[in-house]
Structure formats: C-alpha cells, structure tokens
Chains A and B, each alone.
Chain A
Amino acid sequence: MTGLGALFLSAAFVDNMPLTLFLGLCTFLALSRSPEAALGLGVAMTGVLGVTVPLNHLVYTYLLAPDAWAWAGLPEIDLSYLSLIAFIGVIAASVQLLEMLLDRFLPAIHAAFGVFLPLLTVQCAILAGSLFMVERSYTLAQSAVFGLGSGAGFALAVAMLGSIRTRLAYADLPAGLRGLGIAFVLTGLMSLGFAAFAQMAAAE
C-alpha cells in the first residue's frame, strides 16, 4: 500500500476522531439522532476538514513556520505561536465560504444543514486536524489526505451511531438511559471496537 493510502486509512480508523481521540464529541452525540442528520454532518465534516487542513498547511508553511521568513533575511523569526488564532480564522472563513456555495448551488442541502454548518466553526475535531498536521509535519499532499481521511472516519462513526440509535427506537430502555445516556454507552462500546484497529496497526 502506498504511503498516502495508508495515511488515509490510519486517519479514518486507527486515529478515528470521535472514537479513538474523543474529539468533536458534542456534535457527534447531538447530531446522531437520525441517520440523515448524521450523514449530513459526516459529509460536512469531510468537506471542511479536507479543505481546512491543506489550507492551514499553506498558511503555516509560508507565514508561521520557524523558517518561513528566511527568504526575507529574517531567519530568526518564529511566528508558530500564532498558529492557533490563524487556524481558527481560516476555519471560520472556509465554513462561511462553504455555506455560501451551498446556499447558492445546493439549496436543498443548505436547508438540511440549518444551523449545524456554522457550528462546525468551533468544532474541536476540525481544529485538531490542523494542529495534528503541524505536529506531525505533513506535506501538502499528506495534509489533504489526512484531512479527508479523518473526515471520512468521522462520517463513518457518526453514521454508524446514527443507525444504531434509530434501531434503539424499538428497544425498551430504562427511563434514565434514554437519549444521551445510551448514546454515551454506545460511543464507549464503539470506541472499544475501534481500539482493535490500533492493535492491528501496532502489530504490523
């Protein structure tokens, strides 16, 4: 398997955002009540991560990284401590852009998302994608693949949880567990399942 393919799979399964790293849990739990909303969230996550991680890679490499200004004769300048604020700005702008494009060209999908799209601006999994990119020093191509991969992993996990929760409509749960209670338990169980991928990766 090529390096990029392996990176995609590992981002989607081994380092699954909600189930292995427990990132983005608030939207993960809130929007998994119906499979349609879950799928919509998954698609939005994939789109936003796939766009923002490579964009932030460019911002980081050419503006913020320790040797970004060497060409201007300023090799000692290191602006990497500004990456948090810059990344958040880029994410907010990308989400806005995505929202406008959807509103213009795919109004049905835009209506289905409603308020969820702007919510992604402050979603921790999305920021985490960009921070991991810096920490692991990905190249531009790797950043794009990593963004898409972790988005796809999120989409898969939330769609699975959404489907299980619809099935639970027929289950006779004790009153205290209904709703979020059982969703937490399910998330824990799914997370145990995903831990198996980490074992496979470690065994290789």
Chain B
Amino acid sequence: MMEVLLGSAVIVVLVVGMSAGLLLLRRRLLPDTGLDVSVNDAVHLAARRGATLLGVLHDAGIGIPAACGGSGTCGLCRVTVTGAGAGTPQATERGVLSASDRRAHVRLACQTRLRGDCAVRVPDDILSAGGGVVCTVASTRMLAPLIREIVVDLPQEHPTEFRAGDFMQVTAPPYRLDFRSLDVPTAFADAWEISGWREMRVASDAEVTRAYSLASRPEDAGRAVFNIRLAVPPAGREDTVPPGIVSSWLFSLKAGDAITLSGPFGDFHVQPTGRDMVFVGGGVGMAPLRAMIHQELGHGTQRHIRYFYGARSAADLFYSDEFTALSTRHDNFGWTPALSEPAPGDRWHGATGFVHEVLWAEMSRHPAPEECEYYLCGPPVMISAVLATLERLGVEPLFIFYDDFGA
C-alpha cells in the first residue's frame, strides 16, 4: 500500500513540478506580450507573439494573396519584413525564395512567426485593395467539359486597371452542392455521365479563398473574365473524394449571383522588350495568356507573337475562333492549336501531338529560337515538358516566364 501511494506521489509531484517549472520559465523567457507590426509605415497592427504574419495581415483585411493556404509552397505571400521580430527564414522558405530575395529581407508571410516588433512592406495596391469586394456575376457558360467561363461585373468605384497576367482572389462562402442539380449543356452531358461527375457532392463549412487568373480582353473593361477548371477528383474516386471546393462553387454560379473578389495581384507579366514572343498554354492556362495576347495586340505592338495551345480533342479547345480571327487581322500573330488525341468526329486538320512536340517541330525551324521570349501557363506536366523542350532549343531560363498556378 505504502509503495503504491509513494510511487503515485513521486510520479505526480515529478510531472506536475516539471510542468509548473516549465510554465513559469516560459513566462519569464518568452513573455506573451502584444507586438506592433507596422505596415508600409502607415498602418500599425497589434499582434500576439507566435502568430503568423499572414494571419495578422489577413485579420486586418490586408489581402496578401495566399493560394496555397499558408503551406509555404506557392510563394505568393512574399512581403518585405525588417526588424528583429521576424526571426530568421525557416527551412520551408529557402526552397521558394532566392538568395537575393533573402538578402533583400523578403519573407513568406505565412511562414513568418512573429517574435517581436517588425515593419512590413506590402505593395501599395494590396493595401488599397482592402478586403474583398462584392461583385455580381454577369454571365457564365461552359467552354469545355470541365472549363467554365465566368464574367463578373466589377463595381464602378473599384479600380479596373489590371496588368495582363494578373489574377484575382475569389472567396467562396460555406455551401453545399449536389452536382445532379447542375446544368450541363447537352454537348458535354455524355462526358459528364460517363465520368461519373454527376454523382459528385461537395460541402464546405468555412470561407475558402483561391486565386484565378484574369482572361479579360481590353473590350471587357469594367468586367473580370475567368476560365475556371473544375478540380475533379482522381478518375475512379468520384464517389469517395470530393471535387475542389472553390472551383465547384464557381461552377454553381448563375448570372446575378454575388461573388467576392480581391486583387488584382500578380508578377507574371509581358516584359517590355522588343523580342518576339512565344506563348504556350494548356487547359485553363489559357486565361492569363489570352489577356496578354489581347492586350499586346490591342496596343498595336510590332513584336511577333505566336501562340501554341494544347488540348486533348476538339471538345477541349475553346476561344479557337477568336484566335483564328485575330491571326487573320494581325500579320504579326500566329495561332497553333495542337490536339493530342483528336476524336474521329473532330475532322481535325491542324497540328497533332502534345504541345511541346508541336512547339519543337515549329521552333526548331525558327532562325533563332533562343532570341524569343517564352510565356507558359498550364498544367505542371505540360510546363515541365515545355521547359525540357526549350532547353533542347537552347533557350536561356532568363527568357522563360511561367505561371504553374502554384503547383
């Protein structure tokens, strides 16, 4: 009996004593005091020690883009932080930030845990963009089996200036959706039925924010045009894995619905040089490239522009007539859609094969492929195949610009 009592007492006293000691020490060593975060020397925010900088900025309505949701992979939440309170870059940041970024005190806001006062510098437009702006959906239509165009009317007072290549952030409210209730045009109904996408269901009980590139042309002034690809689960797992939260919600929108946008943001832009430009796209990588090409041609550029776009079959190809019309109107614009698996009914006469193969076939005949600038946007596999092709063509990475949508 004595032994049991004494044994229990020893363990309890030992554990409780050590915990109490640690708690006391923690209070002495790491006091949980309020910190001051100054943003662009204009705004001062109060924060707690240990909070992430991204959380503090977001709570204050400063909409730093964060496409990966704060996991330190997308690199969009870059800010310049000075002051001891920001600590040293984490191991996760080393993979995303270059050495010169780090020398310039650039940090990923989502990986910066505050340990003292600090000063943050964010682009002025983010500070003025404020939180989200509620807008109205003007129209929606299906472009391909999994791609939908959504046109949003921006409020008059919202600055509509954006640089082609920019993206905006869309915030989806809590919602639930049964895909049976979705209208799918007859042209794509078969594909939906066969793939089991009609059986999908999705529910979300929190606000979720994602980035979507603007596909707006100059004539879309006052509007934001998006190309949304529905993030479907891996084939065969439609009944167990839900589809993407924000893309599903966007698919459920109809004209007149409200949508919360913030931005525009971005650093994927046309370079102000005189070089020929080659655009390579696939899937919804169409969006930023379409905006860039229209804006360049609209400005009456003399630079030569070629656009290679890869799709599987004719059903997956969209905006094709628009680019064909552009290429007849502008001598300096060439449009090369490439189908990797044209369906028998497609009567396809254009280029066949993966877009990087078509790019290789065309550009290896070019007198100086290494003198052109390349703008890529599309699925990660396409980007890596095209990067390998460009290396074979002897193009310096300096001349290659791409957006892999945070993959």
Contact = CB atoms under 8 A, between A and B. Distances in A.
Interface stretch (B2-10, B40-48, B217-225): B2-10
A82 to B, nearest CB: 6
A63 B22 contact: no
B189 interface: no
A52 to B, nearest CB: 12
A97 B25 contact: yes
A50 B206 CA distance: 48
A77 B30 CA distance: 41
Contacts of B301: none
A63 B10 contact: yes
A82 B7 contact: yes
A89 B18 contact: yes
Interface string B65-103: 000000000000000000000011111000000000000
Q: Which of B7, B15, B19 has the most CB of A within 10 A?
A: B7
Nearest to B22: A96
Contacts of A114: 90-91
A79 B8 CA distance: 10
A59 interface: yes
A187 to B, nearest CB: 24
Interface in B234-249: none
A202 interface: no
B12 to A, nearest CB: 11
B87 A89 contact: no
A171 interface: no
A63 B7 CA distance: 9
Contacts of A101: 29
B115 interface: yes
B407 interface: no
B303 interface: no
Nearest to A104: B29
B176 interface: no
B58 interface: no
Contacts of B2: 74, 77
A79 B85 CA distance: 47
A86 B11 contact: yes
B14 interface: yes
A107 B14 contact: no
Contacts of A200: none
A85 interface: yes
A124 interface: no
A59 to B, nearest CB: 7
Interface in A64-80: 64, 69, 74, 77-79
A117 interface: no
Interface residues of A, number: 25
B6 A108 contact: no
B254 interface: no
Contacts of B180: none
Consensus secondary structure, chain A interface? helix
Contacts of B115: 103, 107
A43 B6 CA distance: 37
A196 interface: no
Contact of B10 (A64, A90, A100, A111): A64
Nearest to B50: A103
Nearest to B21: A93
Contacts of B29: 100-101, 103-104
A112 interface: yes
A69 B14 contact: no
Interface string A104-123: 10011001101000000000
B26 interface: yes
B89 A89 contact: no
A79 B6 contact: yes
Nearest to A37: B91
A82 B91 contact: no
Contact of A100 (B19, B26, B90): B26
Interface in A164-178: none
Q: Which of A59, A78, A111 has the most CB of B within 10 A?
A: A111
B18 A111 contact: no
Contact of A59 (B14, B19, B88): B14
A74 B21 CA distance: 29
Given A104-B29, A107-B88, 15 more contacts: A64-B10, A69-B6, A74-B2, A79-B10, A82-B11, A86-B10, A86-B11, A86-B14, A89-B15, A90-B18, A93-B18, A100-B29, A103-B29, A111-B90, A114-B90
Interface of A: 59, 63-64, 69, 74, 77-79, 82, 85-86, 89-90, 93, 96-97, 100-101, 103-104, 107-108, 111-112, 114
23 contacts: A63-B14, A74-B2, A77-B3, A78-B3, A79-B3, A79-B10, A82-B10, A85-B11, A86-B10, A86-B14, A93-B18, A93-B19, A93-B22, A100-B22, A101-B29, A103-B30, A103-B115, A104-B29, A104-B30, A107-B88, A108-B88, A111-B89, A111-B91
